[in-house]
Amino acid sequence: MKKRIIAASAFVAILAAAIGFTAKGKSSKTDRDLPFAAVQSGDLVIDVLEGGNIQALKYEEYRNEVKLSSGIKILEVIEEGYYVTEEDVAAGKVLVRLDQSVLEESIVDHEVQFQQTEAAFAEAKQNIEIQESEALSGIKAARQKLRFALLDFQKFVGAQAAEATLKKLGLPYDNDSLAGYEEEATKLIADGFGAKKRSETDEGENEITNFALSANDSLAAKVNFSAFLSEELLGDGEAEQRIRRMRDEALVASSELAVVEESVAGAKRLHEREFITKQTLENELVGLDKARLALQRTETELELFRDYEFPKEAEKMLSLYEEALLDLIRTKRSKMAQMSQAYSKYRSAKRRYDLELKKREHLDEQLAGCIVRATQTGLVAYGGASGDYFSSRAYEGISEGATLKTGQPILTIPDMSNLGLEVKIHESNIKKIVIGQKVHITAESVPDKKLVGRVAKVAVLPDSNASRYNPTLKLYPATIEIEGTHEFLKPGMSARAEIIVDELEDVVYAPVQSVFIENGKHFVFVKDRNGYERRPVEIGSNNNDFVQLRKGVDAGEFVLLKMPSDYEPPQVEKTKIAKDRIPADENVPAGSSATAAIEDAANPPSDDRA
């Protein structure tokens, strides 16, 4: 259907162009008095006229910052219209005093809770220092126990034998290797705590086993310490010294036994010759038995030490060293867990303290906000800077005894040295307005004073309040800065703004009422001797009074400002196209007003509307 309408419109336009319309009309008696105007040439200013109110572009707005659900009452408020001087600002003159009794009660109630929270926070902080000291002492004792266990093992079996044994078992064998072992173990413990924290955040009940519950045999039980003696692996340790001592004792006992045996043999020879008595011989024999028993005892002690005592003591000392290694890890893990709990309690106490402190500071700020002091010179005005009725009607009027809501504007002190004009521009003109354009301003109270300004700001979206009762009305707020300082201007004054869109030089122009539109074409009625002549024209830019005529007429000619009553537009024969007839309501109108012509010229249709 759209294609048929476009085709029909194109055919009508071509047919109208072919017929043309150059006929001249004769004026009737009733058309002799039609208004007309001369086509002029010269400079033409293209502007947009809008009305608005004078406003302070900079101002100090005082709002109620007290957050009470029931609101807060005004005890004192300075009279509206009072001029705040520099002396008032320097002295901190009180402009508004609010009822602070409710806030004072809240501060007293909160003080008890705050002190308790502060004490808990201090205790948690001290507890961390105590736990840190205990943890360091415990780790230090475990580390010392480990070093002593290593020294005991080295002392017993000898340094070389101890180092070879520990290396074979993969255990630390000196201070440097102990430090590396502790560092690696500490890292593993820290990683274990991180894994535990992550597991606590996982969803579901996941079983996590960090340690095996079955007891493994000690590494010391796997060492064959008897081979140390047979292979002579012992160094100059305590065990070697004891073995040497036992060997020496056995050697001495053997020597003593030989001496006693010779002495007994001599005693027997003397007894046979009856040089000594039998009792003396028996005493010598008793000494021989003692010597033999002494030798047997030393040999037995040596064998027992080599076969039983030495392996037992060596394994025991190595096992104690292993246990000291594990004890250091357990101590570190235990102390780390204790510190983790202490830190957790500290963080919880600190968060609670920070919340209570913030609440206290907030109450103090609100209490300070109950007294509003002067911070800027100027006239005092009640309410906010925006006098919008729909937003201000929700608030109670400013007066002593009135109840204020949170955030409600109380006073506004405008900066009289920086005034501007707030206007609302219709959507038909908004695309003409650009920031920085020159503006001529006239206040209605002083129409003889001409002011100059600049467009400072144009809203991106239309004013929602303007379309509250007329959804089709789209007005865009704009701010115009007024140059200079003018004592006669006051906020709230009505004024008109002439926004200079363009300044055309040496152009031909005529009143906007003289231009008409027909079948999408613009034309005028040129006055001549016989009446009038319909003449097509090409228009350009326009303002509220005049429109630029690029082609069709010359300066000095006269154009009618009203369509003659005897004018009849050309008739276009209806034509069937592809057996589709154009509906009557889709015919192009025969004529239109000058306003529509100007709007069409300023807003040419896009390709999809052709």
Question: pLDDT per residue over 171-225, tens digit each?
Answer: 888 888 888 888 888 887 777 666 555 444 444 444 433 433 344 566 777 777 7
Token digits of residue 395: 């608030």
Q: What's the confidence (pLDDT) of residue 183? A: 84
Backbone angles phi, psi at 166, to 5 degrees: -65, -40
CA distances from 424 to 5, 458, 492, 493, 496 (A): 38, 9, 15, 15, 11
Asked if 496 and 49 touch (Cβ cutoff 8 Å), the reply is yes
With 0-12 / 13-18 / 19 or more C-beta atoms within 10 angstroms meaning exposed / middle / buried, residue 11 is: middle
C-alpha–C-alpha distance, residues 442 and 429, integer Å: 20
Alpha carbon 218 to its chain centroid, in Å, reads: 56
CA distances from 170 to 181, 241, 322 (A): 11, 27, 11
234 DSSP assignment: -
Q: What's the confidence (pLDDT) of residue 194? A: 60
Token digits of residue 534: 């319909």
CA nearest neighbour of 260 among 268, 274, 303:
268
Angle made by CA atoms 553, 559, 562, in degrees to the nearest 5: 140
Give the CATH class of 2-56+416-609: mainly beta
Map residue 517 onto helix, strand or coil.
strand
C-alpha–C-alpha distance, residues 344 and 342, integer Å: 5
With 0-12 / 13-18 / 19 or more C-beta atoms within 10 angstroms meaning exposed / middle / buried, residue 421 is: buried
Alpha carbon 222 to its chain centroid, in Å, reads: 61
> Which parts of the chain sit beneath pLDDT 70?
1-32, 192-218, 230-232, 386-395, 571-610
C-alpha–C-alpha distance, residues 113 and 593, integer Å: 78
Map residue 425 onto helix, strand or coil.
strand
C-alpha–C-alpha distance, residues 129 and 329, integer Å: 22
C-alpha–C-alpha distance, residues 444 and 452, integer Å: 15
C-alpha–C-alpha distance, residues 95 and 76, integer Å: 8
Map residue 548 onto helix, strand or coil.
strand
Q: What's the confidence (pLDDT) of residue 32? A: 60
Q: What's the confidence (pLDDT) of residue 90? A: 92
Q: What's the confidence (pLDDT) of residue 607? A: 38
CB environment 357-375: b (16+ within 10 A), e (fewer): eebbeebeebbebbebebe
Asked if 476 and 458 touch (Cβ cutoff 8 Å), the reply is yes
Give the bridge partners for 559, in sequence order: 37, 526
Asked if 129 and 339 touch (Cβ cutoff 8 Å), the reply is no
Tell me whether strands 24-26 and 36-38 are parallel, antiparallel or unpaired: unpaired
Show me where the domains of the chain are located.
2-56+416-609, 61-99+370-414, 111-195+223-356
580 DSSP assignment: B
Alpha carbon 260 to its chain centroid, in Å, reads: 102
Backbone angles phi, psi at 449, to 5 degrees: -100, 120
Q: What's the confidence (pLDDT) of residue 231? A: 59
C-alpha–C-alpha distance, residues 165 and 222, integer Å: 11
Backbone angles phi, psi at 508, to 5 degrees: -95, 135
Token digits of residue 486: 């003018």
592 DSSP assignment: B
Right CATH number for 61-99+370-414 from 3.90.550, 2.40.50, 2.90.10, 3.10.20?
2.40.50
CA distances from 226 to 218, 229, 237, 244, 303 (A): 17, 6, 15, 16, 12
Asked if 89 and 375 touch (Cβ cutoff 8 Å), the reply is yes
Tokens 């005693």 identify what position?
Answer: 267
If you compute the radius of gyration of the chain from its CA atoms, what whole number of angstroms results? 57
